[in-house]
Amino acid sequence: MIPTKPSALYRLAQILRVLAILALVFLVLFLATVAVSAAQLGEGIGRQAGSLHHSLSAAIVGTSVLVNVTFPVPNQGYYNVRDLTLVAVFSNQSIQQSPIAVTEGGPVTIPGHGKGNLSLLTAFDMAEPAGPFLLLNDAEIQGTLWLNASYAAVIPVNLEVAFHYHWGAPFANLSYAIGKPHLGPNNTVDVPVNVSFENHTPGLTLAGILTVTVTQPNGSTCTRQTFPVETHDGPVTLSETFVAPETCSLTGDTIHSVFTAPGIDVTLPTETIP
């Protein structure tokens, strides 16, 4: 019996079956590489999130210390990351119940096996309840990054990454060293005072006026002085002189400090003169 030749329709069905299997294999491989690449993207962002404090510059805008964080985003995968946007929430509930700062960056497109940068302009408002604390104290601030992008042109990617940010205080370790009083003119006492602090925010220049009021235990004002202060990287020591009536002993008196700069008016914690 002579075998019959397969019909054209049968041959077409066989070809379509083979193409369907190849398409399925290609789809599985594509999804697998997308999944691996997306995981690598998340791992790379997670590693960078630990170094947010390494690449920043800072300035004063309004009532805020504006920190510009250049956040590198490595794309180790095979496909382009399109329209990458990132939202960062900074918080420390021991300082302030509500978020200390919220910022966002993007959108950017990052090629496969490439690296992009997101600039996060983060405003730490000194008028908020956390302001006086952040002026004087370093702080470990927890945060969450939410990242949204289109991966391989069609696959949406949503990542959530926890991070820690080290805040450096502009007036860290602020202290007053009271020297030995000596008699001044007009029945006054001149008291030498060294005001010391350290700027732990690299690149930030914060210039303003420090108003210092010394009050006695009964609440009366002994003296009030104002003098300019300006931060720069590293420690700062200012030598000033308090002029007080000779009736003020200063021992046990309380120092009240207010820092003012354009847009900023912050009352600092009190300090008792030993």
The C-alpha atoms of residue 21 and residue 204 are separated, in whole angstroms, by 61
What residue segments make up the domains of the chain, in order of their start?
27-167, 172-272
Cβ count near 187 (within 10 Å): 9
Helix (H) / strand (E) containing 48: helix 8-49
What pLDDT does residue 49 have? 60
What pLDDT does residue 54 have? 44
CA distances from 239 to 144, 176, 179, 195 (A): 43, 10, 10, 6
Rg of the Cα trace of the chain?
A: 31
Burial class, 84, CB count within 10 angstroms (exposed 0-12 / middle 13-18 / buried 19+): buried
Residue 236 has pLDDT above 80, yes or no: yes
Average pLDDT, integer, range 188-212: 84
- For domain 172-272, which CATH number applies: 2.60.40.10, 3.30.70.260, 3.40.47.10, 3.40.50.720? 2.60.40.10
Q: Are strands 56-61 and 139-151 parallel, antiparallel or unpaired?
A: unpaired
Q: Is 30 left (phi over 0), alpha (psi -120 to 50) or beta?
A: alpha
| Range ranked top by mean pLDDT from 11-25, 29-43, 57-71 | 11-25
**Fold of the domain spanning 27-167:** Immunoglobulin-like (2.60.40)
The C-alpha atoms of residue 71 and residue 55 are separated, in whole angstroms, by 8
Model's pTM, two decimal places?
Answer: 0.69
* Fold agreement between 27-167 and 172-272: yes
